[in-house]
Structure 1
Amino acid sequence: MRIAIQTLSTFAVFIAALLACSGVAANETGTKTAVAEIAPRDVVASATLGIINELNKLQPEQRTEEEVRRLVQTYIVPAIDQEKIAMGALGKYWRRADPEQRQAFIDRFRELQIRTYSGAFKAFNGEQFEFDEARFNDSGDKALVKGTLKQNNGNTIPVDFRLYRDKDSQEWRIYDAVIAGLGMVKTYREQLSERLQNISMNELLAELSAQDAN
């Protein structure tokens, strides 16, 4: 069983447009945070605009799988809290896993994300994306950045990014995305939970490793 292949295909199409957004690096205003920091919307923008600027320097034939993958690892991966998103995807099975299994899953799940984003760049076809101002929870340590994907046919698709502020570094990190009502972490958790009812964690890790090798 290949994990989350249908989900990956869906996210690849939507993320493609997201990663091509522009003009979204304005500073947040009216927030409840007093600490000097990169605002949540800017975290998303700096990652996406960085890779898009690099891609714009390349001719289509230069956008090889290896080059796109390198850019994803340079700009996109650091903006995501890999451990937190892995914890959310595994749910109760994270608590049951030992430290070695947890780290192995983080590594495999990171690779899954890299392949998703890399495929998204290749699928991009000039769609437009706009962000609203970030919304904060009462304590100011979580933020929601809402966006709208405008497709070439005139349709619009809502996209939400969820971020939290790390207590140690005070940096905002992405830990989930909800695209057209489809939550990435929730969707993976449902699929992985169903799979782990029938196989062990080590068997799941072996399946993910086999996917990485393909």
Structure 2
Amino acid sequence: MKKFFLIPFFVALFSFAGAASAQTVDANSPDGMIKTVTQQVIDAVRGDKSIQQGNISAVTKLVNEKILPYTDFQRTTQLAMGRNWRSASPEQQQQIVEQFKMLLIRTYSGALAQVKDQQIQYKPFRANPDDTDVVVRSVVMNNGSPVELDYRLYKTPQGWRVYDINVLGAWLIQAYQQQFNEQIQQHGIDGLIQFLTQRNQQLASGKAS
């Protein structure tokens, strides 16, 4: 079976430091929101040893408080599932969203321990006033090596929300589409839920390969 976990989603969220210092998040500014949320997350990581040690409860709390309010993870999951999303019941959709989110948290929580003094450079943000879907582009310097890191956001009545991330040219949604589709084709919607659930159980018990 092809490797299911392709993109270090939470490495993208946690393993760099931004330059923003404001504590108030302006969700009406795509690039400003990314810079501010990034700084708040990095400050939280550096100030909490349990997060640095990969404590799942502490990591989940940080994600729920600092990141999820500015993301649309249901949209991320829906796009990753493609047309299969419509075949799932509302209960199944919710289960998949929750298991997928926990999968990413558990898989990449160890990346938090790697937060050091990485530097990030934001590329000039270009968008028209009437745009409803934009990309904020950046480059992270990690031990002297540049890492491309971009965020795709869309406009909602509550402000801009992140729904996809690009690391080194690979977008998160695109990377998971094939894996989700293969699981559903072979085992159905319930099979995907079972796969994600079992994988989370393996990661929780430390038995994942």
Q: CA deviation at 1:46?
A: 2.6
Aligned pair partner of 1:174 in 159, 162, 168: 162
Instruction: Name the residue aligned to 1:107.
Output: 98
Query: Aligned with 1:157: secondary structure?
Result: strand
Contact 1:25 1:41 in 2 (8 A): no
Q: CA deviation at 1:137?
A: 5.6
Instruction: Name the residue aligned to 2:87.
Output: 96
The aligned runs of 1:50-69 (5 Å cut-off) are: 50-59=40-49, 63=53, 65=55, 66-69=57-60
Counterpart residue type for residue 70 of structure 2: A
Q: Quote the RMSD (CA, aligned, Å).
A: 2.7
Structure 1 pair 53/116, CA: closer, same or farther in 2 (3 Å)?
A: same
Instruction: Name the residue aligned to 1:193.
Output: 181
Q: Partners of 1:116 and 1:180 in 2: how far apart?
A: 19
Instruction: Name the residue aligned to 1:23.
Output: 19
In the superposition, the TM-score normalised over structure 1's length comes to 0.79
Aligned pair partner of 1:120 in 111, 133, 154: 111
Q: Partners of 2:68 and 2:191 in 1: how far apart?
A: 26
Question: Which ranges of structure 2 fall in alignment gaps of 5 or more residues?
Answer: 205-209
Query: Aligned with 2:186: secondary structure?
Result: coil
Q: Partners of 2:164 and 2:51 in 1: how far apart?
A: 32
| Misfit runs of 4+, over 3 Å | 10-16, 58-64
Q: Partners of 1:82 and 1:11 in 2: how far apart?
A: 12
Identity of aligned residues (%): 27
Counterpart residue type for residue 43 of structure 1: M
Counterpart residue type for residue 58 of structure 1: D
Contact 2:54 2:112 in 1 (8 A): no
Query: Aligned with 2:187: secondary structure?
Result: coil
In the superposition, the TM-score normalised over structure 2's length comes to 0.81
Q: Partners of 2:150 and 2:52 in 1: how far apart?
A: 31
Structure 1 pair 37/72, CA: closer, same or farther in 2 (3 Å)?
A: closer
Q: CA deviation at 1:63?
A: 4.5
Counterpart residue type for residue 151 of structure 1: N
Instruction: Name the residue aligned to 2:207.
Output: none
Instruction: Name the residue aligned to 1:30.
Output: none
Q: How many residues align?
A: 198
Contact 2:54 2:113 in 1 (8 A): no
Structure 1 pair 25/117, CA: closer, same or farther in 2 (3 Å)?
A: farther
Structure 1 pair 4/77, CA: closer, same or farther in 2 (3 Å)?
A: farther
Structure 1 pair 155/61, CA: closer, same or farther in 2 (3 Å)?
A: closer
Instruction: Name the residue aligned to 2:28.
Output: 38
Instruction: Name the residue aligned to 1:159.
Output: 149
Aligned pair partner of 2:121 in 105, 111, 130: 130
